[in-house]
Amino acid sequence: MTLDISSAPIASDTTDHAPPGRRPRADWARDLSASLVVFLIAVPFSLGIALATGAPLTAGLAAAAVGGIVVGLFGGTPLQVSGPSAALTVITAGLIAQYGWQATCAITVAAGLLQLLLGVRRVARTALAVSPAIVHGMLAGVGLAIAIAQLHVVLGGSPQSSASANLLALPGQLAAPHPAALTVGAVTVAVLLGWPRLGRLPGRYGEFGARLAKVPGPLVAVAAATALAVALDLRLARVALPAWQPHGLVPDLPHGPPLAVLAAVLTVTAVASVESLLSAVAVDRMSHRTGDLDRELRGQGLANLVSGLVGGLPVAGGAVRSTANVRAGACSRRSSVLHGVWVLAAALALAGGLRRIPLAALAALVLVVGLQMVSFAHIRKVHRHREFPVYLTTVVAVVLLGVLPGVALGAGTAVLLALYRLTRAHVDVLPGPDGSFTVETHGPLTFTAVPRLSRALAGIPAGAEVAVVHDGSFLDHAAYETVHSWRTGHQAGGGRVSMVTRRQDDEVLDPDGTVRTGSSPGPHRCRAWTPWVGHHCIEQQEDPHGRLLDGVRVFQLHTAPLVRPELARLAREGQTPSQLFLTCADSRMVTSMITNSGPGDLFTVRNVGNLVPAPHEPGAADDSVAAAVQYAVEVLEVRSITVCGHSGCGAMKALLDGVHEQPGRPTPLARWLRNGRGSLDRLRRVPAEFTDRPAVDLGEQLCITNVVQQLDQLMANPAVERRVAEGTLRLVGMYFDFATAQAYVLDRESGRFGPVEAAAPRQERDTPGRVDEFEQVPTVGTAVADPARDGGGPGLAA
């Protein structure tokens, strides 16, 4: 039978991002549980952010409620949870100090309107063009500024108006701390840092600790500090929750220079948008889903508009809350909305309990959050990409000068660094054993490299034979004139000059990373897949074992450090592939290359001829393939099975030559090829075809017919038949032509193989991240049909 999935119902917007196969009631339960976890994190965090900004503490709860409900309903990343942002703490504190609280709310409203406009103009991805070193440097600088300011509160004092003033006042505050505030703050920090480590305790204590650690650490830390303060009757400043009253905007417009107010609006808009979009991208990657960034920006703008109107802090997507939401098992946007409802209920009903919380506990919480914004993982990453000067400049400038000047200085440093790299060139003069010279240039040759180039060329003796080898990078007019003038003069003095342009395609790499070219001295050694052609050299033929070990060494040197974190994750969590890929053992079939997949993506079965032995095949049955299929379908619960054939298949040629029918005792190969007799029979009855061209020869026609036949034989596996009938498994037929590097997929409507069109993968079009290997392949259905059985036309893989 053929199942048409095009008529499947479309899920509503509240459930369209839930993984397939789950029941709605189970999704509701998971969303409810996740919303409670996020709520328990959001309440103390929101109060702490409000305290750090100097705003009314109700403003933090208002922003958390609005962010959860409004962005949850209208945002484009369903699992992202929005609320008051730590990254905006320093900015908001400065605005309150300069313009007052109600005028800051008006600025928040204006920033929300601007975000709405930007979202309507669909420019969300433009915000992601900022250098990651600047973004992480800004967050680290803001985190340090927050930590320094809140350290004063933990010590029993009050923060100053700027980070530099806080630094200058810190020695005096450290000399005379408030014992009660310091005790409460120390308990809060100790619980925050120690709570996640309960699961690492030895023996049964570890199991009990792991269960306890599921309760959010911030909630436990603030509760413990509050209980300590109440039990010891400590005299401390505590949370003050004034009546929550919306204010009027017209009387409270900011008073000051218009350009300064405009700069404030742009700053809030830029920081809130960039943080929200970066967090959205991270959440999409974490949950393996694709969101709508422009819709997310519009949702953030609407939330800031509402938050400003009701007296809340600026709103942005938060990595802490969103990560907790995903890890708690949230399935849809319901969890974010429910979390906002719980925060609103707490603000209205639990005011008496919240007023018992010491300010020192909230300050310690925010202090730890600020320090955690300085991520050593980000520092290592920017250092690896040689962007640390940009990062360091941004951090220092944000702490000392503020967010806007700090980001501007960071951007200026990034531009200067880029210009330096664009104008940087190396010129090497290499003498040869016969008195000749090779001048090698690397990088763009511009007017800035002319002095270095002139000195190098002037040092070559007159009359020498010289080869000038340029790597194909940019060559401007000044550099060209320098080389041309020197060449004319050198040739006039009796020398010989040859000009060679060496492009990247002409290079090969030794396993130790040394670059060699055809004109370079030394033996030729090639590195597999660099440059993807011509790597079957004489050395490989003479010593294939050594070549294999060379490849392993290159992997350990270059690739292993890059993939080690992902492989470590797979080692911890186990494999969860979504595809079973059954293909031929041919050495030319590189499955990861043609599917753009990586570790953990494909459960792969390879054999001679990509055959699926039928259980009824006399004298040829083999349980290894059936066992692998059963394991993939029942244990791994893959969602699709692809049978992929290829051009020039030796197994298909052997079938046409009758190797499986030779007289005498059959060889193992002959016995195995008997599993292909059904494909030969199908070739005679209903040969498969291409949609856009005829088959090259009978061998190619058997290759694609064999794919259709193996899809039929897959249905003889009870596990496959059951899953296909349930609609939870689809079967895909695929063929790869080596000569043209073209993949073909079996179309369920026509029963023919059509070419897969070259197009940007879905996630590259929508959200940066890993490409799901078959998202760009057209759906070909969930069942197979045999015309001999069903009385129809050619067998279809649906």
Closest CA to 71 of 302, 283, 276: 302
Of the two residues 493 and 517, the one the predictor is more confident about is 493
Give residue 539's pLDDT. 46
Give residue 611's pLDDT. 93
Confidence of residue 206 (pLDDT cuts 50, 70, 90): confident
Q: What is the mean pLDDT of residues 49-66?
A: 88
Give residue 560's pLDDT. 82
Q: Which residues contact 585 (CB under 8 A, 6 or more apart)?
A: 606, 607, 608
CA-CA distance, 720 to 727, in Å (whole number)? Answer: 11
CA-CA distance, 779 to 764, in Å (whole number)? Answer: 19
Least confident of 170-179, 259-268, 532-541, 697-706: 532-541
Give residue 23's pLDDT. 54
Q: What is the mean pLDDT of residues 517-543?
A: 43
Give residue 793's pLDDT. 33
Among 196-200, 365-369, 384-388, 686-690, top mean pLDDT goes to 686-690
Query: Which H/E stretch holds residue 84?
Result: strand 82-84
Q: Which residues contact 89 (CB under 8 A, 6 or more apart)?
A: 49, 52, 53, 142, 145, 146, 366
Q: Which residues contact 504 (CB under 8 A, 6 or more apart)?
A: 471, 472, 531
User: What is the token pair recorded at 574?
Assistant: 């186990």
Confidence of residue 401 (pLDDT cuts 50, 70, 90): confident
Give residue 502's pLDDT. 63
CA-CA distance, 77 to 733, in Å (whole number)? Answer: 34
Are the CB atoms for 45 and 218 separated by under 8 Å? yes
Q: Which residues on neighbouring strands pair with residue 646, listed in sequence order?
A: 736
708-713-714 Cα angle (round to 5): 95
Q: What is the mean pLDDT of residues 393-415?
A: 87
Could you give the percent of the chain with pLDDT greater than 70? Answer: 83
Q: What is the mean pLDDT of residues 483-505?
A: 81
Question: How confident is the model over 577-588, as pLDDT tens digits?
Answer: 999 999 999 999
Q: What is the mean pLDDT of the chain?
A: 79
Q: Quote the crossing angle between the two packed helices 258-287 and 89-99, to the nearest 10°.
A: 160
Are the CB atoms for 360 and 46 separated by under 8 Å? no
Closest CA to 304 of 338, 269, 271: 269
CA-CA distance, 328 to 50, in Å (whole number)? Answer: 26
Place of tokens 């040829």: 620
Q: Would you say residue 449 has pLDDT above 60?
A: yes
Of the two residues 741 and 8, the one the predictor is more confident about is 741
Give the ranges where 11-162 is alpha helix by DSSP (H). Answer: 24-53, 57-66, 72-74, 89-99, 101-120, 132-154
CA-CA distance, 741 to 758, in Å (whole number)? Answer: 11
Place of tokens 């060209």: 480
The two beta strands, 730-737 and 742-746, are antiparallel
Q: Considering the entire predicted model, what is its pTM?
A: 0.52
Examine residue 666 and say whether the peptide bond preceding it is cis (omega within 30 degrees of 0).
no
User: What is the token pair recorded at 762?
Assistant: 């879905």
CA-CA distance, 299 to 304, in Å (whole number)? Answer: 9
Which region holds residue 251: left if phi is over 0, alpha if psi is between -120 and 50, else beta?
alpha
Backbone torsions φ then ψ of 392, nearest 5 degrees: -65, -40
Q: Which residues contact 424 (CB under 8 A, 6 or more apart)?
A: 443, 444
Give residue 504's pLDDT. 46
- If DSSP codes are grouped into helix, strand and coil, which group holds residue 732? strand
Place of tokens 């004319």: 488
CA-CA distance, 77 to 296, in Å (whole number)? Answer: 6
Are the CB atoms for 154 and 190 separated by under 8 Å? no
- Which DSSP string corresponds to 162-207? SHHHHHHHHHHHHHS--HHHHHHHHHHHHHHHHGGGGGGSSHHHHH
Q: What is the mean pLDDT of residues 484-491?
A: 90
Among 34-43, 550-559, 579-588, top mean pLDDT goes to 579-588
Closest CA to 283 of 5, 547, 626, 17: 17
CA-CA distance, 644 to 743, in Å (whole number)? Answer: 9
Are the CB atoms for 360 and 156 separated by under 8 Å? yes
Q: What is the mean pLDDT of residues 88-114?
A: 90
Task: Tell me the residue length of the chain.
Answer: 798
Q: What is the mean pLDDT of residues 268-292?
A: 82
Are the CB atoms for 754 and 747 separated by under 8 Å? yes
CA-CA distance, 709 to 717, in Å (whole number)? Answer: 14
Confidence of residue 392 (pLDDT cuts 50, 70, 90): very high
Are the CB atoms for 479 and 450 separated by under 8 Å? yes
CA-CA distance, 107 to 309, in Å (whole number)? Answer: 10
- If DSSP codes are grouped into helix, strand and coil, which group holds residue 468? strand
Question: How confident is the model over 81-96, as pLDDT tens digits?
Answer: 999 987 788 889 889 9
Q: What is the mean pLDDT of residues 693-722?
A: 91
Place of tokens 């459930």: 15
Sheet holding 496-501, edge to edge: 426-431, 437-442, 465-470, 496-501
Place of tokens 């000044």: 478
Give the 3-state secondary structure percentages of the chain, helix then strand then coil, rounded to 5.
Answer: 55, 10, 35
User: What is the token pair recorded at 463?
Assistant: 């009359």
Q: Residue 253's CB: how many other CB atoms inside 10 A? A: 14
Q: Which residues contact 705 (CB under 8 A, 6 or more apart)?
A: 679, 682, 683, 687, 688
Q: Would you say residue 149 has pLDDT above 60?
A: yes
Q: Would you say residue 768 has pLDDT above 60?
A: no
CA distances from 57 to 35, 40, 237, 311, 342 (A): 22, 17, 13, 10, 17
Q: Would you say residue 450 has pLDDT above 60?
A: yes
Give residue 340's pLDDT. 93
Question: How confident is the model over 623-656, as pLDDT tens digits?
Answer: 889 899 999 999 999 999 999 999 999 999 999 9
Q: What is the mean pLDDT of residues 779-797?
A: 32
Q: What is the mean pLDDT of residues 264-268?
A: 92
Q: Would you say residue 507 has pLDDT above 60?
A: no
Confidence of residue 617 (pLDDT cuts 50, 70, 90): low
Question: How confident is the model over 679-696, as pLDDT tens digits?
Answer: 999 999 999 999 888 998
Are the CB atoms for 688 and 707 separated by under 8 Å? yes
CA-CA distance, 632 to 622, in Å (whole number)? Answer: 17
Are the CB atoms for 495 and 462 separated by under 8 Å? yes
Give the ranges where 54-131 is alpha helix by DSSP (H). Answer: 57-66, 72-74, 89-99, 101-120
